[in-house]
Chains A and B, each alone.
Chain A
Amino acid sequence: MSADPQVTAAARRGWWLSAPALVLLAVGATGPLLIMLVYSFLEPGQYGNVEWALSFKAWFNVVMQRDIFDGTLTFADAHLSIFWRSAKLALLTTLFAFLTGFPTAWFIATRSPGLRTALLFLITIPFWTNLLIRTFAINQIIRNEGFLNTFLLWTGIIDTPIVMLYTDFAVFIGMTYVYLPLMVLPLFAAIDRFDMRLLQAGYDLYASRWQLLRHVIVPVVKPGIISGSILVFIPALGAYVTPRILGGGRNMMIGNFIELQFGQGRNWPLGAALSVVLLVVVSLALIVYTRFATGSEGKSHG
């Protein structure tokens, strides 16, 4: 290593300047994650909190359960069904957000510069608007005595309200609604860089619009598709507010199930273990994404 004193001094100054932010993040974000990992290996306390005794029970209970009467081992069906629902809803949300977000992003990117800025601003506002308020707005639309049912009853299309609130469908619609901007923004960024002359070339070679979409547009904007999907999938998988307001008590997702362990469940170690599981799944998704993104970038340079 070359010891250029000027570079070393600059690097040291960089560290000192970054130190307050790093300390704050270590205390208020990263450090507690490690403590949580420790807690997942302890015994639950009787009134919440923990007993300081090493135990693997919480980890065991993530997927298995022992029958309280005869002691037989079975899979914890209740837990597995919650994991399955979370994964299913998060994937459906991502897919539907892509199917609606892609045309929207394409539409924005192909407008005149002035209109484009205005439309982007319109997409950004909901993104920064309180998630709770947006979920609440959906709640008011789809509840039994809500706007949609009142309207349908008034027109005579239906004669009894359609029950939508507190179903998986409501959670899916709500999550698609609140996370859609996260899909549109990276897709727009990718389409904006797309060279429209490629389409011209495609048409010259007698490609249909569908063939162009399938073989030219989608492969080129793939990094944007991956970014958008990850940005939607991660918060959807760990969603708490939306399933709580739209899914009610029965249609729990993993986020609500984790909360339950710190409330009525009084099983902090299980809650901690479930949080670690969620964190690991999200980290894996991020790692795959990073590999994918850098891989495709390297290819395009080659």
Chain B
Amino acid sequence: MADRSFDIARLPGFATIAVTIFVLLYLPIAMLVIFSFNAGDNVAIWEGFSLRWYPEAWANEAVKQATWRSLQIATCAAIIATTVATMAALGTTRRRQTRGQSFVYLMINQPLMVPEIVTAVALLIFFSSIKVATGYQGLGYLILAHAAFCIPFAYLPIRARLEGMDLSLETASADLYATRWQTFRHVTLPLVMPGAIAGLMLAFVTSLDDVVITLFVKSAGQDTLPTYMLAQIRRSVSAEVNAISTLLLLLTVVLLTAFFLLTRKRT
């Protein structure tokens, strides 16, 4: 009794469940990564360490094109979404609440509330008639669709940053006869920047990971990395998919770590 104090917050069995959940959460991902280094083409029997699947995936022209396409779309969509989200955040925070604001919030958060399959189908219907009418089949549709659903992800960290910002700095700048533009350029923008970069990264990751909307919006031959992988998974499973997954996981973890470091509260 003496060596262990009574912990009021301890609930029997909870720690066991929690640890099990953490293990189960990471075990499948760990197996996926481990078997991307398997010498044989088997996802369950280890046949020795090998890096063969990485060059093999990269030698595949379809993988190369899908990767390039994914990066193009994610970069364009993230930049567009972050730009408009920054503007919207500047327009909706740090001012007295107006009736219009709840409408703006609702619109911005709409992609988070509507099931992805519903948006995907709606975009398929909308874009298919535009494709027929204009004859344009390019990546523009995918970039537009991705930019739209990335807006809430870019908006949230920017808004959080703006709400934590000291208004007196801008007032001080105005008191020193700075024009509105000068204040924005030299005071507001540098302060918003960490939020905007965090938003950009979340938007980039969100776009890069999208499957459902891409699947319905893309024209023939416009596979992105996730839609290419989906098609591969349905056929025979090759460790090539493990290798691609591992690289995508690595990219996500790197971006997320950077995001955490950027948004961490300074002590």
**Chain B residues near A295 (CB, 8 Å)?**
none
A243 to B155 CA separation, bound complex (whole angstroms): 31
Taking a contact as CB atoms under 8 Å apart, the answer to whether A258 and B212 are in contact is no
Taking a contact as CB atoms under 8 Å apart, the answer to whether A29 and B110 are in contact is yes
Using known A-B contacts A17-B87, A22-B107, A107-B18, determine if residue A147 contacts B121 with beta carbons closer than 8 Å. Answer: no
Taking a contact as CB atoms under 8 Å apart, the answer to whether B107 and A103 are in contact is no
Residue of B with least CB distance to A141: B28
| Residue count of chain B within 8 Å CB distance of chain A | 89
Asked whether any CB of chain A lies closer than 8 Å to the CB of B183, the reply is no
Asked whether any CB of chain A lies closer than 8 Å to the CB of B164, the reply is no
**Chain B residues near A121 (CB, 8 Å)?**
260
Q: Which of B108, B124, B209 contacts A262 (CB 8 A)?
A: B124
Residue of B with least CB distance to A231: B112
Count, A-B residue pairs, CB within 8 A: 264
- Most chain B CB atoms below 10 A, which of A7, A137, A200: A137
Asked whether any CB of chain B lies closer than 8 Å to the CB of A35, the reply is yes
Taking a contact as CB atoms under 8 Å apart, the answer to whether A131 and B122 are in contact is no
Say whether chain B's binding surface is mostly helix, strand, loop, or mixed.
Answer: helix
* Interface stretch (choices B58-66, B145-153, B170-178, B191-199): B145-153
Taking a contact as CB atoms under 8 Å apart, the answer to whether A286 and B113 are in contact is yes
Say whether chain A's binding surface is mostly helix, strand, loop, or mixed.
Answer: helix
Taking a contact as CB atoms under 8 Å apart, the answer to whether A209 and B28 are in contact is no
Taking a contact as CB atoms under 8 Å apart, the answer to whether B151 and A21 are in contact is yes
Q: Which of B121, B209, B237 contacts A131 (CB 8 A)?
A: B209
**Chain A residues near B253 (CB, 8 Å)?**
125
Known: A33-B119, A130-B209, A130-B249. 18 other contacts (CB 8 A): A7-B96, A13-B91, A16-B91, A17-B92, A25-B110, A27-B148, A29-B110, A30-B107, A100-B17, A103-B15, A134-B29, A140-B32, A150-B44, A177-B25, A209-B11, A240-B211, A278-B118, A282-B114
A–B Cβ pairs within 8 angstroms, 15 of them: A11-B95, A20-B87, A25-B110, A29-B119, A103-B14, A104-B18, A106-B11, A125-B256, A132-B230, A133-B32, A133-B249, A149-B44, A199-B9, A241-B211, A258-B121
Closest 7 pairs (CB-CB, A-B): A28-B148, A238-B115, A17-B91, A107-B18, A137-B28, A32-B122, A32-B126
